[in-house]
Amino acid sequence: MKRYIFNVFFCVGILICCWGCDTVGNFPGATVNPDIAIYDLRSFYKGQDLKLTDETLLGATGITGTVVSDHSGKNLPTGLLMVQDRLRLNELRGIAIQIGDAAAEYVPGDSVRVNLIGGVMKRENGLLVIQGVDKSAINKIASGRVIAVNRVPSSYILADPDKYESTELVIVKGGFDPIPEPTDTYAGDRLVNDGFDNFVLHTDASATFAQQVLPGMANFFGVVGYTQVEGKWVPHLRIRRDSDITVLSSTVSRAAIVISGYIGDVEGTDLDGEYIQFLATQDVDFSKTPYSVVTHNTNSGYQPTGVPVNGWAAGGKRSYKFDLKSGQVKKGTYFYVGNSAKLINGVGSTSIADANWIVSRKTGSVKGDGFGDVNTDLFLNGTSAFTDAIAVFEGTAVTKSSVPIDVIVTGYNGAILNVAQEAGLRIANTDWYDIINPVTLQQQPFYKQGSNTIYLARPAPADAGWFYKLGGEYNVRLGRWVKARSQRTVDLSKQSTIEEIEGEFPKANGTNEGWYATKVIE
């Protein structure tokens, strides 16, 4: 009887499932979406021309998206309509469609639907393009759609240009190499560096802006194109129109001194152990051109408490100043400011007294130059909960409104900024920070304001002797960072030598990969 009952219920279950499947199969919403995401469309191309049909598009017939091409500046390949969307995984992708002269009728911000049936997807001059579609396949839905700013480092484009094809992007803080002469113009191929890598900016001789004079630094909006070099298609950026250029500076400024590393928490007691490493980008005689270095500490137990109303000149135990008024340093060499013992990692460690010490002082018993109380611990230990910072200034007069030439910050929290009071730590235009937001062009002169949020992370545990080694490349000819500094933390021992903080160290498997010192290059 039990087996009979089980079989009855089993058969009923099968009938219900079959009825349910038939119902689902005829559900009126179960049709294929006629619009395919550009992300998916591009994935169908496997290196061979692909005819676009209902079958190859998996039941879809077209795409929708926002136009990013603009032929008014006469710097894009003729006849290409470039459209982008984020319909798949929120991934931005674009595609170029050859529609002839009609492409010039569309401008960035137009929303369109494109019927792709009958077209062919292929590579043309390096670019993935759909051919065989005419103007009648384009249906303009709207205009004036906002295109979100898409900042892309040049190194990302060089590594994966296919990801950025036919999308609107912007290379930020681009500077030309070589530095432009007063008569240099956009026409031709110009090498641009944005602090991540070198990238070619291509401008046709017939472009409306081709004869404009080059700026010192600018943001460049545009789309990716290709140049064939030794049989390979190499990506470049094509500006579309005058308004794609946002000039940030007409001149190039150089920093004679940059921060290349420091140790704020040696093994054992910090008394007389902390020091800062600098790299000179030019010859400096401090007796003729003095500079100053200021450290800042947000330890909640230090006075004055709260937001630094007087900025770097807060004084008390919050900020401490070193005046650099004697000694010399050669371009491309390191020098040091800090502890009087001149030991690499606290008491009992290797002496580095033979290094170039411009200021060596026992901060635990000597006040700072102009401000800064006696303090055995200029930097915080073992936590990113509060902020440490180092700044370099031209001259020795540092006030609330003084703007440094270089800044490095460790940690993010603590009482550090009140924009309404104009209270905080002013930053410099560096590889990490911008006084004016390069994308929004809004003023942001303080750390933690706007995009100024980069900081070093403190390694754990405390008292381990971590040296913050900032690997990057500063080009003295261009007056800028061509490879931004990045954090390398070297775990020093008591037996460590100066080569570990000045050289290519440590070396993994005989290479320098991932570990390098700050360099000055020409």
pLDDT of residue 5: 46
Q: What is the pLDDT of residues 160-177, one digit of tens each?
A: 999 999 999 999 989 999
Residue ranges of domains in the chain:
38-142, 154-249, 253-522
Nearest to 369 by CA among 278, 290, 285: 290
Answer whether 216's CB lies under 8 Å from 175's CB: yes
Q: Which of 353-367, 410-424, 478-492 has the lowest mean pLDDT?
A: 478-492
Whether 131 shows a pLDDT value over 70: the answer reads yes
Whether 19 shows a pLDDT value over 80: the answer reads no
Q: Hey, what are 324's tokens?
A: 């650099």
Tokens 């991934």 found at: 91
Helices (H) and strands (E) in the chain, counts: 4, 29
Q: What is the pLDDT of residues 174-192, one digit of tens each?
A: 999 998 999 999 999 999 9
Strand bridging mode 284-285 / 357-360? unpaired
Answer whether 177's CB lies under 8 Å from 192's CB: yes
Q: What is the pLDDT of residues 215-259, one digit of tens each?
A: 988 999 999 999 999 999 999 999 999 999 998 876 666 799 999
Q: What is the pLDDT of residues 350-387, one digit of tens each?
A: 999 999 999 999 999 999 999 999 998 888 775 666 78
CATH topology for 38-142? OB fold (Dihydrolipoamide Acetyltransferase, E2P) (2.40.50)
- Residue 502 CA, chain-centre distance (Å), reads 25
Averaged pLDDT score across all residues of the chain: 89
pLDDT of residue 461: 79
Mean per-residue pLDDT, 122-148: 96
CA distances from 31 to 17, 64, 113, 446 (A): 21, 18, 19, 54
Whether 349 shows a pLDDT value over 80: the answer reads yes
Q: What is the pLDDT of residues 264-312, one digit of tens each?
A: 889 887 777 899 999 999 999 999 999 999 999 988 788 998 999 999 9
pLDDT of residue 458: 81
CA distances from 344 to 335, 464, 490 (A): 13, 13, 12
d(CA 167, CA 240): 12
Give just the sign of the alpha carbon dihedral 468, 389, 305, 397.
Answer: positive
Whether 21 shows a pLDDT value over 60: the answer reads no
Higher pLDDT, 415 or 360: 360
Q: What is the pTM of this model?
A: 0.75
CATH topology for 154-249? OB fold (Dihydrolipoamide Acetyltransferase, E2P) (2.40.50)
Higher pLDDT, 437 or 209: 209
Which CATH architecture group holds 253-522?
Sandwich (2.60)
Q: Hey, what are 40's tokens?
A: 């998916």
Q: What is the pLDDT of residues 36-67, one digit of tens each?
A: 999 999 999 999 999 999 999 999 999 999 99
Q: 38-142 with 253-522: one CATH topology?
A: no
Nearest to 77 by CA among 233, 206, 184: 206
d(CA 240, CA 186): 12
Residue 199's contacts (CB-CB under 8 Å, 6 or more residues apart) are 154, 157, 158, 171, 174, 191, 192, 193, 235, 236, 237
